[in-house]
Amino acid sequence: MSTPIVELTDVCKTFPLSRGRRAQQLHAVNKVSFSIAAEETLGLVGESGSGKSTVGRMLVGVYPASSGRIRLFGRDISGDDAKANLKAVRRRLQFVFQDPQAALNPRMQVGDAIAEPLDIAGGFDRHRRQARIGELLDMVGLPRSAARRYPHEFSGGQRQRIVIARALALQPEFIVCDEAVSALDVSMQAQVVNLLMDLQAQFGLSYLFIAHDLAVVRSVSTRVAVMYAGSIVEVAPKRALYETPRHPYTRALLDAVPRVHGAAKSRQMLQGEPPSLIDPPAGCRFASRCPVAETRCRVEAPPVRTVGSGHQASCHLI
């Protein structure tokens, strides 16, 4: 793997829920570590509430990390110089949201919405601005006449293409895609995923692709990280994770994927609910739902074990 452009080391994020003597905190992200190389896509999967979107928002500076270190393009955006370092790399990263309709101002024409990053960055006169809008619409497969229309005149898939065009405006190198296709139907999902992969090949982009759909993640990712209750429980190259999952939670996620063809096999369906993130357990956070948990799993946090080339998992029983 080439030199990482994104590095997270033991990153934690807590949110205060109350003040005073009985103050409580939500432990949303717990000691998350991973890296992303140039032109790589890391898929981040897990059930709702696992902390995936919080990680994405910390990477683009929406939330500051409570502890740990985040480095983007070699600059630390979690230390004393976080604001200055984030400003220095701001043009090199972008964010694509789950709901394109909510991400676009309904009162702005599409051309103005796409050009908003150009206007903020400055340095684009009227002719360069219009030319860039046309180029961006071409990139995402929309007609240039779309610039004079409003978001409500487009389908959900087309609106997501508009959001992607806006994300590309300043020629970023890294894009966080937060459930970027989950609000679309299957045919539109395929079109947007293919567009993202084509843009990656054309411009050398890197992605953090956050999703809960394992089929979509498999089609787009280079490596996959599995997140549960705020922690990364397994990370591996795509093929290794789907063919030889080592963590019980990863196996349960894969068992939950519907199958149309092939012989039926026994599946391990998860029972119960994730633990409270206000008062997280001392041991493995998956222990209360794990079918093979032992006593030590409930009292001792599992270490990260290397189980193959680029393949790591956090489980006492590996």
Among residues 82, 75, 81, 66, the alpha carbon closest in space to that of 11 is found at 66
What is the mean predicted confidence (pLDDT) over 7-24? 86
Annotate 198-236 with b (16+ C-beta within 10 A) or e (fewer).
ebbeeeebbbbbbbbbbebbbbbbbbbbbbbbbbbbbbb
Given a cut of 70, whether residue 263 has pLDDT beyond it is no
Show the tokens assigned to 34: 């991973």
Per residue in 85-122, pLDDT tens?
A: 999 999 999 999 888 999 999 999 999 999 999 999 88
Task: Give the chain's mean pLDDT.
Answer: 91
pTM given for the model: 0.92
List C-alpha distances in Å: 252 to 47, 151, 286, 289: 11, 39, 11, 10
Q: Which of 236-240, 263-267, 271-275 is the most confident on average?
A: 236-240
Quote the Cα angle for 209-211-214, to 5°: 105
Q: DSSP class of residue 60? A: T
Rounded distance, CA 302 to CA 84, Å?
36
pLDDT at 84 over 90: yes
Q: What pLDDT score does 144 carry?
A: 96
Which residue, among 93, 86, 104, 57, has the nearest Cα to 171 in the 3D structure? 93
Distances 152 to 114, 133, 181, 277 between C-alpha atoms, Å: 15, 19, 18, 38
pLDDT 10s digits, 147-182? 999 999 999 999 999 999 999 999 999 999 999 988
* Residues contacting residue 304 through CB under 8 Å, at least 6 positions apart: 312, 313, 314
Confidence (pLDDT) at 271: 81
The pLDDT, as a whole number, for residue 257 is 78
Neighbour tally for 145: CB within 10 Å:
10
Burial class (CB in 10 A: 0-12, 13-18, 19+), 144: middle
Tokens matching residue 154: 């487009």
pLDDT digits 0-9 by tens, 19-51: 766 778 999 999 999 999 999 999 999 988 899
- The pLDDT of residue 287 is 93
Rounded to the nearest angstrom, the gap between the alpha carbon of residue 37 and the centroid of all alpha carbons in its chain is 15
